[in-house]
Amino acid sequence: MSLMTETPPRKRPFWTMARRDAAAGYLFIAPQLIGIIAFVLIPLCLVFYYSLHEWNVLANTFNFVGAANYQMLLADRALPQVLLSSAIFSVGLVVLNMSLALLLAVLLDQKLKGITVFRTLFFSPVVVSLVAWTIVWSFLLQNNGGINGMLAMIGVEGPNWLRNPTTAMISVIVVQVFKNVGLNMILFLAALQGVPKELYEAARVDGAGHFKQFRRITLPMISPTILLTSIITIVGSLQVFAQIAVLTQGGPGMTTTVLVYYLYQQAFQFHFFGYGSTLSILLFVIVAVLTFVQWQMRKRIVFYEN
Amino acid sequence: MRRTILGSTFAALAITTGLTAPTFAQDAINLRMTIWSANEAHLAMFNEIAEGFKASNPDVSIAFEPIPFENYTTTLTTQIAGGNPPDLAWILESNAADFVNSGALAPLTEAFTATEGYDMADVSEQATALWQKDGQLYAYPFSTSPFAIFVNNDVIKAAGAKTPAELIAEDAWTWDNAFATAATVGQSGKTGLVVRDFKYQVWQNMASIWNAWGATPWSADGKTCTFADQPMVDAMTAIHKAIFVDGAMPGPGEDIDFFTGETGMTITQISRASLLPKEDPFDWDLVPLPSGPVGTYAVVGQAGVGAFAASPNVETAVAFLGYMTNPENSQKLAQFFPPARASLLNAQTLGATNPLLSAEQIENVVIDGISYGMVLPGHTNFAQIQQTVRSSLDALWVADADVPAVLQSVCDSVGPLLAR
């Protein structure tokens, strides 16, 4: 007993195995963590901070104004139109994109010779630069552009796509759908190929037709993918910017001025950085609420979650 | 071993994140000027002027940073907002009021007057009006470029219309006849008249036409909207008819470039002469803007250059600006940018630096234009006003538009912004 107490305690090294592992682990996640802190969390906090200030960049004044920018938000006469445009764009995009992606995925989920060529073709716009894609479409959609030229050949006088309030919104939606439908298509295709074939065999034996098989087997089995793609597509649709900037600049009138474009105008064109920050807080809240609602709905619509 | 890995990782992080500050000589001054031209000849000239300044100020170096024109002001203000403002910057006339009134720019008058040989009295009062506040100059108008009409005589003659030169000879160069010539060209399948850069967005460029009717977008004090007044209604009615009834001008959504040679006429600034095709040129001409109900008139587009008051090297920046715009260097600048100095506004100086233009063109278009040209519309908070008017004006660019009603709606939406 006395011997043990007299033995000087062995000095524990600072770099124990556990600490070394922890340090290595932190180092590995450091790039990602630094990125998120520097480019997501800090800007998010700063945007909220700026939204409480009036910031005149040119005059170099930065004054605390409390909730004034939020009061301005409520009184902004243009905002209802902007939110309506955003809603029309998002609903149009999500409905068109998801149904087209699912249709393409079902059509391309066949064991045919050369089917990969078609899959590649439909996916290729996803990897094209967004701005380049949109600029090409802006030429096609001009009044004297390619689309109206083709329509004229079959004796149809096409509308002035980007200058008419109705067709401008449709054009922006369709250009965006064609750009990104391939991504959802690939996700759906992967999900479709993961559905066990025995289920279809069993259904056929029981006398289920094609539609019933799709309704009762395919849709429930790929429902997690439907949830995922709908979240990605809705969030993406609320953040649309480049297409609007290139195709319509928010016009004609305000018909295609969606929230992100309006925010850009206020902050970077009109130099109202405080109010622009307030608008981006509004956007953040809308996206967060929509995503939360969708996530909550997963229990009802997703087959595996119960 | 592990320590070495840890150590080198931190070292790598430190280097890549810039923790190791670069060292500069203590007395070196690096000035940065943002510009919207990436033209190599322009850059060469600016670098030559900068070298000249460096000869007497060996510690100073000046970098010219081109920013694309489309997003110029947005990029510039973003740099300022991000805490990285340039020391000097070109400024568009439409934003002049915002920059001059904000206090962002350093005053120049005193420093320029004190510069030996600067001769401030030589600089035209009219040219500097836009860039002053309370008698103090805040930016120097280094380019005062008149709007004029470039003509493609080949296209006009092929359509069987009268050329502007013929109309001028008959003393009949009016907007009625100019639109008639454009309409004949338009009906021949080519394009009649293009207002360059207008694109049914940049409506302020239409001032090159509506000034002929004495129309203005707002009152002289900037407080009252005058879009719905009779001169503007008359001017816009004539423009609307030219577009949608006579086919004299391309409609919205048609992007056409005069300099490719398929268009009869274009309204643009004379500095665009550099875009004329060098190979296989067409028979071109440069004529002043036609006369309208208020007689003859001229419109100029300006560009200013100022120094930022917040720059740590503001004194050096102002000194460089004084050097860059002194009589000697103004002559160099004049080869690309029409000058604001009266002593340079003569056919001899401008002819030597603009070899493309004839003596007659320089006299009628350039000198007359600069001498009594009105500047394009500008206003404090111009970007928001521009956007608001653009948005309301979209309703005008359809065939069955009610011109007076649309113009009244423009005033209804922009009025509150102007009155602020």
Give the per-residue pLDDT at B25: 46
Asked if A275 reaches chain B (Cβ–Cβ under 8 Å), the answer is no
Do residues A296 and A285 make contact, with C-beta atoms less than 8 angstroms apart? no
- Angle at CA B143, nearest 5°, toward B384 and B145? 85
- Would strands B299-307 and B284-287 be described as parallel, antiparallel, or unpaired? unpaired
Helix (H, G, I), strand (E, B) or coil at A158: coil
Residues of A with Cβ-Cβ distance to B9 under 8 angstroms: 27
Helices (H), A214-272: 219-221, 223-238, 242-247, 259-264
Q: Give buried/exposed letters for B105-139 (b at 16+ CB in 10 A, else e).
A: bbbbeebbeebeebbeeebbebbbebbbeeeebbb
Strands (E), B13-139: 29-35, 60-66, 88-92, 132-133, 136-137
Rounded-to-integer distance, Cα B344 and Cα B340, Å? 8
Angstrom distance (rounded) from CA A222 to CA A304: 10
Contact B383 A57 (CB under 8 A): no
For B26, other C-beta atoms within 10 Å of its C-beta total 6
Helix (H, G, I), strand (E, B) or coil at B142: strand
pLDDT digits 0-9 by tens, B383-419 = 899 999 999 999 999 999 999 999 999 999 999 999 8
Position A151 scores a pLDDT of 93
HSE at residue A40, side-chain half, CA atoms within 13 A, is: 7
Identity of the residue in B81, B201, B252 whose CB atom sits nearest the CB atom of A273:
B81
Kindly list the residues from chain B whose CB atom is less than 8 angstroms away from the CB atom of residue A35.
none
| Predicted confidence (pLDDT) at residue A203 exceeds the cutoff of 60 | yes
The residue of chain B with its CA nearest to that of A271 is B77
Query: Is there a contact between A253 and B254 if contact means CB atoms under 8 Å apart?
Result: no
Interchain CB contact of A16 with B (< 8 Å): no
Interface touch B77/A15, C-beta < 8 Å: no
pLDDT at A173: 95
Residue type (1 letter), A2: S
Nearest residue, CB atoms, B80 vs list A58, A142, A162: A58
Long-range contacts from A298-302, C-beta under 8 angstroms, 24+ separation: A298/A227, A301/A223, A301/A226, A301/A227, A302/A223, A302/A224, A302/A226, A302/A227
Q: Does residue A179 have a pLDDT over 60?
A: yes
- Which of B71, B391, B414, B417 would you mutate first to test chain A, the one with the most A CBs within 10 A? B391
Tokens describing residue B274? 């550099």
* A to B CB pairs, distance under 8 Å: 75
Least confident piece of the model among A228-232, A298-302, B150-154, B262-266: A298-302
User: Which of A291, A106, A265 lies closest to A195, judged by CA?
Assistant: A106
The full set of domains in chain B, from first to last, is 29-145+301-371 (3.40.190.10), 147-299+376-419 (3.40.190.10)
CB contact under 8 A, A268 and B201: no
pLDDT at B166: 95
**Helices within B200-264 (DSSP H only):** 207-210, 230-244
Residue A67 has pLDDT above 80, yes or no: yes
Q: What is the pLDDT of residues A137-149, one digit of tens each?
A: 999 998 888 899 9
| Alpha-carbon gap, residue B356 to B273, rounded angstroms | 7
Q: pLDDT value at position A191?
A: 94
Contact B248, B183 (CB under 8 A): yes
Domain residue extents for chain A: 78-301
A294–chain B Cβ distance below 8 A for any pair:
no
Q: For position B21, what pLDDT does the model report?
A: 42
Q: What is the pLDDT of residues B8-54, one digit of tens each?
A: 444 444 444 444 444 444 478 999 999 998 888 889 999 999 999 99
CATH architecture of A78-301: Orthogonal Bundle (1.10)
Q: Using one digit for the tens of pLDDT, what is the confidence trace for A102-137?
A: 999 999 888 888 888 888 998 999 999 999 999 999
Spell out which chain B residues touch chain A, with contact meaning CB-CB distance below 8 angstroms: 2, 6, 9, 74, 77-78, 80-81, 98-99, 102-104, 200-201, 251-255, 310, 381, 383-384, 387, 390-392, 394-395, 397-398
What percentage of chain A exceeds 90 in pLDDT?
Answer: 62
| pLDDT-flagged residues of chain B (< 50) | 1-26
In angstroms, the separation between the Cα of residue B176 and the nearest Cα of chain A is 27
SS (H, E, C) A85-154: HHHHHHHHHHHHHHHHHHHHHHHHCCCCCCHHHHHHHHHHHHHCCHHHHHHHHHHHCCCCCHHHHHHHHC
Query: What does pTM read for this prediction?
Result: 0.83
- Whether residue A305 is predicted with pLDDT greater than 80 in this model: the reply is no
Question: A249-297 pLDDT, tens per residue?
Answer: 998 999 999 999 999 999 888 888 999 999 999 999 999 999 899 888 8
CB A92 within 8 A of CB A169: yes
Cβ-nearest to A142 among B77, B81, B253: B253
Contact by Cβ (8 Å): B392, B413: yes
pLDDT at A185: 94
| Mutation for testing the B interface, residue in A15, A60, A140, A162 having most B CBs under 10 Å | A60
| DSSP H or E stretch at residue B295 | none
Q: A70-75 contacts: CB < 8 A, separation 24 or more?
A: A70/A278, A72/A275, A72/A278, A73/A275, A73/A278, A73/A279, A73/A282
A143 in contact with B, Cβ within 8 Å: yes
